[in-house]
């Protein structure tokens, strides 16, 4: 069982949560705010609490809700325990890819996006497509941007190298914030990016399993 399923706490560190709250307060706009991957909703609560009840922008959450048993119910409980009505949050129980396709086909845009779902390179590359739905001036954050999660690091670094209209804004712990400075002229994720992520998937998985076995032997 994941610890957050018991504690209902965020999986982020205090300094990462502080950065999120600072960015939200500074960027305070009324467009949609999206969290992809919510676990027990601890970070969601923290982000929503940045705003007074009557000034809070709409929040959207995308999650498969299979992280631990009764995940959706526990997220609701967590919100209620923090005086937030869950019916005011737009929950989309779906894979990130399914939700992305729907959001894109309905022409949705977002002011703020937090990406914290699967950290496998193929998934992170697919999640980067959400940046195309970010409004110019908006912020997209990636959690676990660290050597421990090469899938996140490699995708984000490649993305920043290719798109001059996205710039690093701030970083705390393993949370990286990026600003979209202008609308793009090319797709955020191309076929060649997807092929790159598929090519790296198996080497990274082999390395991840080898490292896990090694930790198991030491413990
Ligand atoms: C690392 S946890 C999120 C932690 C949370 N943001 C926090 O700070 O407490 C990952 C979450 O992403 C969800 N998830 C993983 N892969 C997903 C996918 N492909 N589509 C949608 N949700 C996914 C899991 O169900 C889980 O709730």
Whole-number pLDDT of residue 158: 98
Query: What confidence score (pLDDT) does residue 1 get?
Result: 79
Segments in the chain below pLDDT 70: 219
> What is the 117 CA–ligand 1 centroid distance (Å)?
4
Ligand 1 in reach of 103 Cβ (< 6 A): no
Q: Is 96 touching ligand 1 by the criterion CB < 6 Å?
A: yes
Q: What pLDDT is recorded for position 43?
A: 98
Q: DSSP assignment of 73-139, as one string?
A: HHHHHHHHHTT--GGGSEEEES-HHHHHHHHHHTT--EEEEEE-S--SHHHHHHHGGGGGGEEEEEE
Q: What is the reported pLDDT for 219?
A: 67
Centre of ligand 1 from the C-alpha of residue 174, in Å: 16
Q: How far apart are CA 94 and CA 77, in angstroms?
A: 20
Distance 41 CA to ligand 1 centre (A): 10
pTM (predicted TM-score):
0.96
- Check pocket membership of 42 for ligand 1, CB cut-off 6 A: yes
Residue 187 CB neighbour total at 10 angstroms = 11
Neighbours of 181 (CB within 10 A): 14
For residue 12, which atom of ligand 1 is closest to its CA? Answer: 8
Retrieve residue 5's tokens: 């399923």
Looking at domain 3-218, which of 3.40.50.2000, 3.40.50.150, 3.40.710.10, 3.40.50.620 is its CATH number? Answer: 3.40.50.150
d(CA 33, CA 153): 23
Going from N- to C-terminal start, the domains of the chain cover 3-218
């Amino acid at each position: 069982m994941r610890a957050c399923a018991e504690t209902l706490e965020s999986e982020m560190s205090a300094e990462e949560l502080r950065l999120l709250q600072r960015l939200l307060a500074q960027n305070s706009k009324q467009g949609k705010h999206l969290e992809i991957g919510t676990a027990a909703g601890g970070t969601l609560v923290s982000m929503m609490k940045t705003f007074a009840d009557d000034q809070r922008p709409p929040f959207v959450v995308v999650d498969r809700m299979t992280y631990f048993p009764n995940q959706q119910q526990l997220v609701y409980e967590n919100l209620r325990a923090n005086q937030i009505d869950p019916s005011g949050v737009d929950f989309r129980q779906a894979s990130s890819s399914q939700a992305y396709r729907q959001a894109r086909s309905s022409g949705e845009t977002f002011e703020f996006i937090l990406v914290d779902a699967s950290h496998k390179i193929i998934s992170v590359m697919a999640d980067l497509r959400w940046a195309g739905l970010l409004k110019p001036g908006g912020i997209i954050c990636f959690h676990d941007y660290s050597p421990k999660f090469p899938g996140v690091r490699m995708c984000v670094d490649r993305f920043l190298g290719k798109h001059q209209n996205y710039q690093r804004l701030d970083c705390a712990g393993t949370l990286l914030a990026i600003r979209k400075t202008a609308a793009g002229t090319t797709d955020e994720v191309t076929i060649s990016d997807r092929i790159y992520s598929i090519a790296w998937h198996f080497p990274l998985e082999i390395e991840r399993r080898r490292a896990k076995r090694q930790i198991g032997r030491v413990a």
